[in-house]
Structure 1
Amino acid sequence: MTTAITEHTSNITLLNVQLYYEWYEPNVHRSNQVFLLIHGFLSSTYSFRYLIPLLAKTHTVISIDLPGFGKSEKSTSFRYSYKNYSQLIIDFITAFSLKHVVLIGHSMGGQIALRTAKIAPALIERCVLIGGSAYLKRAKKAVIYSSYLPFVSFFIKKWFKKNDVKENLLTVVYNKSIVNENLIKEYGEPLQHKRFLDCMIRLLRHREGDLLSEEMQSIATPCLLVWGKHDKVIPLTTAHNLLTDLPNAKLVVYEDAGHLVSEEQPEKLAKDILEFLNE
């Protein structure tokens, strides 16, 4: 029997860094729109594993691991700025001549999606921001400068290693029962790469502040904001501020979800995304 979805994984080199991606195609009833998924901080394409098959029934779905995360290269020469991350998305779209692209970004991925829509609006048809990062300032200069000191880098790495994956997961979900040993293993494994913490230090140094309100006010791309009511990482107040600043946005709030909406409410999320496309 022919499967409903065809999938493959591969790598592509863009901006001199190797990018891992997963590509899913429906075998029947294919829409001309393409979903491009961008994960959040300390995450990977794994966080979309429940959402992908729901969207891939009718749409091409592509999920990437950002440099420094998941299965993508842990480069110590890449500049880990949002500008570069957004340029990677643009170059990926261009490399495969993708049309009718809908960006779906979670947390940090939401900020990258917004930046991409601002830089290259002609390439992006719509954006879906799931607990999207916004209004965060750049790290203070003293913190950035001190990150170059050997003993400070040591303490940053020690802090990361002490930060328990299980405790982090319990913080970002509303339904604590979904945090099991397999979830802890899958989210924790990529963080053990020998160069991962060096990449995170570079991200601390290179990350710009999030887009300013006046910058977002020029983004005409239709945006769906999806938020868990119990999001402790990016609170619901951020969603309401985005709703004010983005000219063409709507907000959907999930009562029984935290920051990891795609883990807790994938069916509802897929339904709302597909309905958003038809508005």
Structure 2
Amino acid sequence: MENNTFVSFLKVLLLGTIVFYISTHLSTSRIVEYVSQDAKKLTIEGIQVAYREYGKGNFETIVFLHGFAGSSYDWKVLIDVLSENYHCIAFDIPPFGLSEKKNDFDYSDESIVRLLIKSLDSLGIEQFTLVGHSMGGYLSLAIASIIPKRVERLILFDAAYDVNSEDLQNPGPPFKLKDEHLLKFYQIFLDVGLKTYPLFKFVYRNSLAEGEILNAEHFDYLFSQNYFLPAEILIKFTKDKAAQKPLKIDLEGITAKTLIIYGEKDQITPPSIGEYLSKSIKNSKFMLIPNEGHMPLSNRLVIELVRKFLIDILE
């Protein structure tokens, strides 16, 4: 009986190993295809920032900021529609996507916001519409409050924001992981998770709202773009975020006409955040999308809402 159990264990282990190497090979092929596409790079504050540019430069500019562990590819469906009439620029926020992954870079929100504004300056972009999802939505709020005269319109998709003012004033103790053995285990766990297709898919699927369908193409690119992200960089990113002082975002000082979109079933950034932002930002409109979770970016209803908002016919 014990022998049969041991043999079964070996079979499972062998199968897992085969799946790991096959999935790694397949994902690597996808990565090669992905990185050969139309990404551009510029160097700001000693780090390479990747971005993708679509449409004509003389069109009105729309800037896109993705969420945590995302990339410029997250906006593909929306940009495919909008780039016919707009100049679209989608950034890979360091250390994600094709942007450089440096262990000595400051990944705090303040640093990232400064980096993005300098990137816009470097590209000669003065007036623009700003679109952000999740973490990118939070960064968009910060940018719109810092340079309000340059942001003409603001579109937020399931934006991350802490509505608890006490928490904002008292962010709590910084992230500490001093035990070297625990740190090593965490790093190995992240490395395996980021590079093992089945495990990554399991985690991603469990982040979806009930009834939300996994977009296979988007997931494959999500896996590919995080394949090159070392665990030590993700740990550095996490530490910088946890130890930072919260950004002081003046919501009432945002002058851009604002569209706030949340998925009805979003379990990561609940719609109540959107309702709060809508009440705090003047000249804003809140839209709740039925049967959508945290990633409504490719929803055809949402794309039509955005299109109407941009040409001022959204009721």
Give the TM-score range, shorter chain: 0.7 to 0.9
Task: State the TM-score, normalized to the length of structure 1.
Answer: 0.84
TM-score (norm 2): 0.75
Answer yes or no: is 1:123 the counterpart of 2:123: no
CA distance in 1, matches of 2:87, 2:105: 29
Cα distance per residue 1:126-152 (max 9 Å; x no partner): 21110000007687425x132x44233
Q: What amino acid sits opposite 1:11 in the alignment?
A: K
Cα distance in 2 for partners of 1:84, 1:236 equals 28
The answer as to whether partners of 2:70 and 2:96 remain within 8 angstroms in 1 is yes
Aligned with residue 176 of structure 2, among 145, 153, 157: 145
Q: Distance in 1 between matches of 2:296 and 2:245?
A: 24
- What percentage of residue pairs aligned between the two structures are identical? 21
Aligned counterpart, 2:201: 166
Alignment correspondent of 2:131: 104
Q: 1:10 aligns with which of 40, 48, 51?
A: 40
Picking from 280, 297, 313, the partner of 1:245 is: 280
In terms of fraction of residues, the more helix-rich structure is: 2
In the other structure, the counterpart of 2:102 is: 75
Q: How does 1:124-273 map to 2 (within 5 A)?
A: 124-135=151-162, 140-141=172-173, 144-146=175-177, 148-160=178-190, 161-162=192-193, 164-170=199-205, 171-172=207-208, 176-180=212-216, 182-193=217-228, 195-207=229-241, 208=244, 211=247, 215-263=250-298, 265=299, 267-273=300-306
SS at match of 1:50: helix
Cα drift, residue 228 of structure 1 = 0.9
1:87-137: CA deviation from partner (whole Å, max 9, x where unpaired): 122112111211331111010000011111112222211211100000076
- For residues 74 and 32 of structure 1, the distance between their equivalents in structure 2, rounded to whole angstroms, comes to 32
AA partner of residue 232 (structure 2):
D
Question: Is the CA contact 2:61–2:86 (under 8 Å) kept in the aligned structure 1?
Answer: yes
Cα distance change of structure 1 residues 34 and 173 upon mapping to structure 2, 3 Å threshold: farther
1:277 aligns with 2:310: yes
> Do the aligned partners of residues 151 and 239 (structure 1) sit closer, same or farther apart at CA in structure 2, a change above 3 Å counting?
same
Which structure is larger by alpha-carbon Rg, 1 or 2? 2
Distance in 1 separating the partners of 2:204 and 2:176 = 30
Bigger fraction of residues in strand: 1
State the alpha-carbon separation in 2 of the partners of residues 221 and 57 from structure 1: 23
Structure-1 residue corresponding to 2:14: none
Residues paired across the two proteins, number: 263
Structure-1 residue corresponding to 2:55: 25
Change (3 A) 1:97 1:162: closer
**Superposition CA RMSD, Å:** 2.5
**Which residue does the alignment assign to 1:4?**
none
* Equivalent pair of 2:129/2:152 in contact (CA under 8 Å): yes
